[in-house]
Structure 1
Amino acid sequence: MEETVPNRLAILGHPQRLALFRLLMRRYPDRVPATELALALGLKPNTLSTYIGALLQSGLVTQERQGTSLRYAIDLKAARDTIGYLLNDCCRGRPEICTPLTSSDGNLPMPDDKFNVLFICTGNSARSIFAESILRDLAGDRFNVYSAGTRPQSDLNPFAVQVLEHKGHDVSQLRSKNVAEFQTDDAPAFDFVFTVCNQAANEECPTWPGQPISAHWGLPDPVKIEGSDAEKSLAFQQAYGTLRNRMLGFTSLPLTSLDRISLQKALDAAGQTDQKGNPA
């Protein structure tokens, strides 16, 4: 560890290698293909390969072949060990300094009223709108639910609206919103923040006050499906079904009795399931 940590810190001292590391942290536990990483960071394939090679050599990132594609993910233990090494002396001598950074083993506090939950995707026209509507109708007595987009559309997707209406949701108050609406001084303090599309998770995320628990629940964008109206409608139905299944799991969790690490693991696992509850 004495030799490994300085090497890791030196590698992360390069701005673009650090950006790659942070992107993979936001996407954890996803394994992300190199082509998507290069596109998200605006890097040439050979440049990305060099940066990935350095992170792999340091042990901060792992590689796995899926079919013909190489995919990459953070080695969370290595990342935790590296950050823990930096904090060790600080927290031994002055634990009050590090408490905000090391409080992940505590329980989620019971809110005075309801838990505040935000779902984010790029357009805020389908997937995040689905998530907002489903959670509100499943457990609106326990959650205040919001959704937003990093680059919201002017209108909700008509196929998404059709699915919601068919499922009995009230769509009259739904609208696409920019995530900036929830970054003002009078915005709700969120307990949970979820990204439900890969593109939103790949972007630099805002700093949310209060250390909300975050998770990535990415799923394919039904808006991009080409074909007949029936084929498009099926894609929206599948996205709705996957999110509803994940929401059922979320609402069944004992949120205030689980420590934050256990709760984070449960939410990460939920983001890997399909509409039938099987691993995606």
Structure 2
Amino acid sequence: MKPTLIAEMMAVLAAAPRIRAIQALVRAGAKGVSAGDLARRCGVAASTMSFHLTQMRSVGLVESRREGRTLYYVASLPTLEALGRAVMTGFCPALVPDFESTATFRDPAMAANDRNRPLNVLFLCSGNSARSQMAEAILTREGQGRFQAYSAGSHPRDTVHPQALAVLRRANLPIAGLRPKTWAAFGAPDAPMLDFVFTVCDEAAGEACPAWPGQPMTAHWGVPDPVAFAGTDAATAAVFNDTFRMLYNRISLFVSLPLASLDRLALKRRVDAIGAMARDPEATEAVEATAPA
């Protein structure tokens, strides 16, 4: 986890009501707590708690889900674990097992002379025009050379969506070379040996995919489709920003995993847990409410 993200999370937590809220959410588990109930438990006004929750959601410490008209908030345990580990690694490295080798995971069956190459990660969505392109660009930077990111689609569009490129430019992420590609190319005999394949849309997750070389670990990290949104330019930009934030949070957790100290089953549980993080219900609702029939 990058120092800037650690600093943002620590800054958000620098208030006693937020610490109490996180503790209450951890105790509540997956069922979550409504903002009003959480405000009563922490002894603050409901409007104040809503502000605190918005801040904690912005850095991925808290996720939410909608049931009817009520939002239930849940502590993001993968994010809290990654934050705790990152802090301990920086200040008390002797207490963190295998802290120096967190990016060297390899299936024991891999050839020994293949273990020093970057881990190849493929992000998939149906059109390969927005979500998977953003994920590729995010991992290219956040992976810091330890990961090689790719993206593809089952039915790739002609071009990358301009709003996706705009989001990446605002984040100073690389966009050179980004283009829609068919996922069939990554199932060819001369394709790169893949270590991880993540679907970021529900449509691609439900389709029959090629046989990937390398027997990669797979997981579903679905997020709402920003391309389906129909609204003003400002509203569309906000939806793409939401999508970027959700992908950034997941990828930041992924690159922070202690890969060398996890066996394959434990690592699978971790990447599945990242994908199971609650989606942004407000972004989902906006897409569903304004998308064309």
Task: Please state which band the TM-score falls in when normalised by the shorter chain.
Answer: 0.5 to 0.7
**Which position in structure 1 is the counterpart of 2:193?**
189
1:230 Cα offset (Å): 1.1
Displacement after TM superposition at 1:135 (Å): 0.5
Aligned position for 1:119: 123
- 1:150–1:200 CA contact under 8 A, matched in 2: yes
Contact 2:191 2:213 in 1 (8 A): no
Residue 187 to residue 140, structure 1, CA distance change in 2 (3 Å): farther
Looking at structure 1, the residues matched to 215 and 123 of structure 2 have their Cα atoms a distance apart, in angstroms, of 16
Deviations 1:4-63 (A, max 9, x none): xxxxxxxxxxxxxxxxxxxxxxxxxxxxxxxxxxxxxxxxxxxxxxxxxxxxxxxxxxxx
1:132 has 2:136 as partner: yes
Q: RMSD over aligned Cα, in angstroms?
A: 2.2
- Asked if 2 retains the 8 angstrom alpha-carbon contact of 1:196 and 1:217, the reply is yes
Out of 228, 235, 249, the position equivalent to 2:232 is 228
Number of residue equivalences: 175
CA distance in 1, matches of 2:188, 2:225: 28
Give identity over the alignment, percent. 46
Report deviation, 1:139: 1.2
Contact 1:134 1:247 in 2 (8 A): yes
Q: Deviations over 1:165-211 (max 9, x none)?
A: 11001212111111111121111010000000000001012222332
What is the rounded CA distance, in whole Å, between the counterparts of 2:209 and 2:260 in structure 1?
26
| SS of match in other structure, 1:147 | strand
Q: Could you report, residue by residue, the CA deviation over 1:189-243 in whole angstroms, capped at 9, with x for unpaired residues?
A: 1000000000000101222233210000001000001211111111110010000
CA distance in structure 1 between the partners assigned to 2:279 and 2:165 by the alignment? 19
Give 2:30's aligned residue: none
Deviation (angstroms), 1:112: 2.5
Name stretches of at least 5 consecutive residues in structure 1 with no aligned partner. 1-65, 68-105
Residue 143 (structure 1) aligns with = 147
Secondary structure at the aligned position of 1:181 is classed as helix
Aligned partner letter, 2:240? F
Assess, with a 3 A threshold, how the Cα gap between structure 1 residues 241 and 274 changes in structure 2: closer, same or farther. Answer: farther
In the alignment, what sits opposite 1:71? none
Q: Give yes or no for contact 2:183–2:210 (8 Å, CA) kept in 1.
A: no
Which residue in the other structure is 1:178 paired with?
Answer: 182
2:266 is equivalent to residue 262 of structure 1? yes
SS in 1 for 2:128: coil
The amino acid across from 1:242 in the alignment is: M
Partner of 2:158: 154
Q: Is the 8 A contact 1:108 1:259 kept in 2?
A: no
Q: Is the 8 A contact 1:108 1:258 kept in 2?
A: no
The equivalent residue for 2:56 is: none
How has the CA–CA distance of structure 1 residues 185 and 107 changed in structure 2, closer, same or farther, with 3 Å as cutoff? closer
Q: Check conservation: 1:238, 1:275, Cα contact below 8 A.
A: no
Structure 2 Cα separation of the partners of residues 235 and 131 of structure 1: 15
* In the alignment, structure 1 residue 251 sits paired with structure 2 residue 255: yes
Moved over 4 A (4+): 106-110
CA distance in 1, matches of 2:243, 2:147: 21
SS of the residue corresponding to residue 259 of structure 2 reads coil
Structure 2 alignment gaps of length 5 or more: 1-66, 69-106, 285-293
What is the TM-score normalised by the length of structure 2? Answer: 0.56
Determine the structure 2 residue equivalent to 1:55: none
**Kept in 2: contact 1:244–1:275 (CA 8 A):** no
After TM superposition, the structure 1 = structure 2 runs for residues 1-280 of structure 1, keeping only pairs within 5 Å, are 111-273=115-277
